[in-house]
Amino acid sequence: MPAGLPESLPGSHGDGDGGDHDLPRATARLQLHPGFTFADAAAVVDYYAALGVSHLYLSPVCSARPASTHGYDVTDFTRVRDELGGEPGLKALAGRARAAGLGLVLDIVPNHMAADPTHNHWWRDVLTHGRASRCAASFDIDWTPRDPALHGKVLLPILGQSYWDTLVAGELQWVPASADDAAHLRYFEHSLPLAPGSVDAAAATQPGWYDPTQAEGRTRLHALLERQHYRLTWWRTAAAALNWRRFFEISDLVGVREEDPQVFDAVHALVFRLLREGWIDGVRVDHVDGLADPAGYCRRLRAELDRHAAARPPLLRLAHPWLVVEKILGPRERLAPDWQVDGTTGYDFMDEVAAVLHDGNGEAPLGALWTSASGDARPYAAHVAAARRQVLERHLVTEYEGAAACLHDCAKQEPGTRDLTRAALRRALAALMAAVPVYRSYFDAQPGARDATAAQADHAMLDQAMQAARADLAPDEAVALAFIGGCLRTPAPPDSETGVLRRRLQQLMPALAAKAGEDTAFYRYGRLLSRNEVGSDPGTLALPPAQFHARMAARRMACPHAMLATATHDHKRGEDTRMRLAVLSEMPAAWAEAVAAWERACAPLLSTLPQAPDPGDRLMLYQTLVGAWPMEDIGKPAGSNTVEAFLERVSAWQLKAIREAKRHGNWTCPDAAYEAACEGFLRAIAADWPSGVLAHIGQFAQHIAVAGAVNSLAQVLVQLTAPGIPDRYQGCEGWDLSLVDPDNRRPPDFAQLRARLGCSAGWAHWLAHWRDGRIKQQLIRQVLAVRHAHPRLFADGQYSMLAAQGALVPQVLAFARTADAHQAITVVTRLVATQVDPTMPRIPPAGWGDTALNVGAPQPSRWTDALTGHVLDAPMGRLRLREVLGGLPVALLLRQP
């Protein structure tokens, strides 16, 4: 048995009605970085054990760029990151967790590594030896690109200015060999290796041989660089000239070839060993859609995880390591069963649970307000299509043009298609890519290798996209479109020209979907920002309860052990920010009136600004201020620092929003004047604090906060009891009013969370003091305790919707989980803007009137609220909601055998 692990696993084998003990009961995501190491994580194990999760779910732990705050820029897959505490620190954390009854799940990053010539030794070896490198097959490099000057070379776009200007400026320095290091070049923080035999012999005896400040030295330095296996270029050339696959448009992350078995083994060796030795219990796979063959990768990963788990010490038995993948599902898209994973990381659930807590009646008036403010009546889908075309033309140029060139080469091979021009193929490709409604397709090289239903779904999706794309194409372009569709559908070996083309087309799809959707259109379309969330379709405002229940029942059948997320390290807005903004869908008229009042008050200010923020951007700013406004009063006399901190957070969001929208500049070409105008506007509306426009916005936020809190508590209880494995993102046990990263990655105040978890004041006190967040935290703790006592009920129990009757039917959402003779009923309150108690998050008992919940056959039954301990009778199979929800806005009812 590995040293440091206990001989038994206290708390890991549930009691009650049994269950699958290999799978997590609930996870807690922790963001590791040099400021929060394995030792820091170990220090909060007791807190998470008391909260009731079964596993800690860790951000990437492999070696990454020095000082990386996220760990996704991996530099060495074979080592645990020293800045986190190294492998001893990870094992110490695992031992501490096991002693407390917790396991570990790792986030792994198979798609890419940091293209770092200094710290990534695989990449450095490629730069040193080129195509002959032992690591050349590890990376997705085109060694024979269109540009002959790059044949056998790797483009290295790291220079801050043009190549020649860099040489003239003397920024590239020759570093002679020493006892510790071979001769190399230094460019600021980068150490650039040199090909064997490429250095002039005279350089060893003449220190100024490669002196860039002298014309002759500069000429010799240029000649030396021409002999290398890389070509140094200005960073701005990357978008159009890269000859290797990158992560989205991030040109310092290089794609890894997991389709190569040897590369797969090298990338996962550490993970498999940690699993085999018993230190970890499962993995979350980052960005699986970026891989050449996601389905094949997942099947192999499943087989290897199971094989290594079988070799664990007997007392650490693990028959089924948990495997979930970061996968964005489109509308009506389902994860194919032949992937052999336990499910996604839960963005789909995050969308569903949020949508059912929105009011569909707000769609038209909120849409009218947005159209009036922005002057743009286009639906969200049109914004996405336009963004996709812009991103192809301006940001993913090398990927787009490379695919078009590859298409042209393939077309020229056959007499029937040799007349297709590159221009026609290019336009047809853009039209198709703009119309693809999902993240990507998964056409496989081997016919019949995939699940038949999944394969049929791919063909149907492509048919739909081609039909939409064909509408605006000329005749020759329509023929080109048909050719592209054929290339995607026709089986061909992976290393054939058609196979390579298919891979390039399908790997372009997820990058385009992410950059055009969540990183562009989300910041252009602002009808209601609570729906502009990863995994969601902003064009869909709400989900009727009946559809929600149908999806949960289907989830229980298809992927009962998928992750359920409501907050993540990648979310655009915190789970409680979204729930507060959801209230606006119930009161669009009051929202429009408030916005109009703020706009009137700002009119004199706007007339004085050299440039005014767009009205649409102002509407999104108002939503952001309302949604993220701190729960506790920041208007107190001592709150000026709190106000400034809040404005700084909003200011950072606003800058990111402007650049992501790409309407007024972007990250590489910012519009400084417009950004200054938006910052000036934000600061100006706060100038009269604690009165003025900002104060009025704060008053509105506080007014709807109580209804937002009802939504939040409903969201939490549904997450913790729906089919799947809930994940609680770090610190979100309290109110999560965060914005997009880096705001959502701020360190939690664990001392405060620990103190609040230990509070025993009771539900009445927590409800009365709801703004401090203890009510949410205590709800999580209590429900996780119920899951621990009844693991099978929530892991595998059947799902069925429950209907209500009476005056407030729209205000209740309820479902039952059933396993054998055990049953639990989840009851939550929704859409309460006009019924909520103005002082606390609930509908007053009398407000429920005669509304009742039908809980089964018309015979008496008795239920116990697992939260409050109240015993409730259901005469004639009905529970009166004024009793069920008289104290709290949510209830978890248990019926014992």
Mean pLDDT of 372-386: 97
Q: Which band of pLDDT confidence, cut at 50, 70 and 90, is reported for residue 9?
A: very low
Quote the mean pLDDT of the chain.
94
Mean pLDDT of 460-479: 96
Domain boundary among the residues 704, 721, 755 is at 704
With beta carbons less than 8 A apart as the criterion, state whether 620 and 538 touch. Answer: no
Residue 574 lies in a domain: no
Domain count, the chain: 4
Q: Which band of pLDDT confidence, cut at 50, 70 and 90, is reported for residue 532?
A: very high
Nearest to 779 by CA among 830, 690, 845, 709: 709
Mean pLDDT of 428-444: 95
| pTM value > 0.85 | yes
Q: What distance lies between CA 345 and its chain's CA centroid? A: 9
Same domain, 445 and 484: yes
pLDDT by residue (tens digit) across 754-797? 999 999 999 999 999 999 999 999 999 999 999 999 999 999 99
Q: Is the pLDDT of residue 465 over 60?
A: yes
| Beta-carbon count within 10 A of 703 CB | 16
Beta strand segments in 833-882, E: 852-854, 862-865, 871-873, 878-880
With beta carbons less than 8 A apart as the criterion, state whether 581 and 626 touch. Answer: yes
Annotate 538-556 with b (16+ C-beta within 10 A) or e (fewer).
bbebbbebeebbebbbebb
Note the pLDDT of residue 636: 61
Note the pLDDT of residue 3: 55
Q: Is the pLDDT of residue 852 over 80?
A: yes
Residue 442 lies in a domain: yes
Q: Is the pLDDT of residue 706 over 70?
A: yes
With beta carbons less than 8 A apart as the criterion, state whether 618 and 738 touch. Answer: no
With beta carbons less than 8 A apart as the criterion, state whether 605 and 684 touch. Answer: yes
Note the pLDDT of residue 11: 37
With beta carbons less than 8 A apart as the criterion, state whether 117 and 156 touch. Answer: yes
Nearest to 832 by CA among 660, 690, 714, 694: 714
Q: Which band of pLDDT confidence, cut at 50, 70 and 90, is reported for residue 4?
A: low
Nearest to 37 by CA among 99, 97, 81: 81
Percent of the chain, pLDDT > 70?
Answer: 96
| Beta-carbon count within 10 A of 671 CB | 16
Q: Dihedral (C-alpha) 413, 416, 419, 422: value to the nearest 10 degrees? A: -60
Q: 283 has which bridge partners?
A: 106, 323
Note the pLDDT of residue 635: 62
Note the pLDDT of residue 452: 82
Residue 819 lies in a domain: no
Whole-angstrom Cα distance, residue 185 to residue 167? Answer: 12
Mean pLDDT of 531-546: 98
Same domain, 383 and 516: yes
Q: Which domain holds residue 192?
A: 121-233
Same domain, 63 and 188: no
Q: CB neighbours of 595 closer than 8 A, spacing ≥ 6? A: 369, 373, 619, 622
Q: Which band of pLDDT confidence, cut at 50, 70 and 90, is reported for residue 896?
A: low
pLDDT by residue (tens digit) across 29-54? 999 999 999 999 999 999 999 999 99
Same domain, 413 and 468: yes
pLDDT by residue (tens digit) across 234-246? 999 999 999 999 9
Q: Which band of pLDDT confidence, cut at 50, 70 and 90, is reported for residue 12?
A: very low
- Tell me the Ramachandran region of residue 450: left when phi exceeds 0, alpha when psi lies from -120 to 50, beta otherwise: beta
Strand 250-255 with 282-285, pairing: unpaired
What HEC string does 681-707 produce? HHHHHCCCCCCCHHHHHHHHHHHHHHH
Burial of 114 from C-beta contacts in 10 A (0-12 / 13-18 / 19+):
buried
Whole-angstrom Cα distance, residue 336 to residue 256? Answer: 23
| Beta-carbon count within 10 A of 793 CB | 24
Note the pLDDT of residue 600: 98
Nearest to 556 by CA among 710, 352, 776: 352
Q: Is the pLDDT of residue 18 over 50?
A: no
Same domain, 369 and 507: yes
Longest distance between any two alpha carbons in the chain, whole Å: 99
pLDDT by residue (tens digit) across 161-203? 999 999 999 999 999 999 889 999 999 999 999 999 999 999 9
Whole-angstrom Cα distance, residue 706 to residue 587? Answer: 14
Q: Which two tokens stand for residue 298?
A: 């997942």
Query: What is the DSSP secondary-structure string of 24-73?
Result: -S-EEEE--BTTB-HHHHHHTHHHHHHHT-SEEEEPP-EEESTT-SSS-S
pLDDT by residue (tens digit) across 71-110? 999 999 999 999 999 999 999 999 999 999 999 999 999 9
Same domain, 126 and 102: no
| Beta-carbon count within 10 A of 206 CB | 12
Same domain, 175 and 101: no
CATH assignment of the domain containing 80: 3.20.20.80
pLDDT by residue (tens digit) across 123-157? 999 999 999 999 999 999 999 999 999 999 999 99
pLDDT by residue (tens digit) across 570-608? 999 999 999 999 999 999 999 999 999 999 999 999 999
Q: 282 has which bridge partners?
A: 105, 322
Residue 605 lies in a domain: yes
Residue 599 lies in a domain: yes
DSSP element (H, E) containing 799:
strand 798-802
Same domain, 97 and 142: no
Q: Is the pLDDT of residue 639 over 60?
A: no
Residue 98 lies in a domain: yes
Same domain, 97 and 159: no
Note the pLDDT of residue 897: 61
Same domain, 624 and 698: yes
Domain boundary among the residues 294, 317, 345 is at 345
Residue 190 lies in a domain: yes
Residue 75 lies in a domain: yes
Same domain, 128 and 220: yes
Whole-angstrom Cα distance, residue 828 to residue 811? Answer: 8
Can you give the C-alpha Rg of the chain in angstroms? Answer: 29
Same domain, 146 and 224: yes
With beta carbons less than 8 A apart as the criterion, state whether 37 and 83 touch. Answer: yes
Q: CB neighbours of 845 closer than 8 A, spacing ≥ 6? A: 882, 883, 885, 886
Lowest mean pLDDT among 18-22, 63-67, 320-324, 817-821: 18-22
Percent of the chain, pLDDT > 90?
Answer: 91
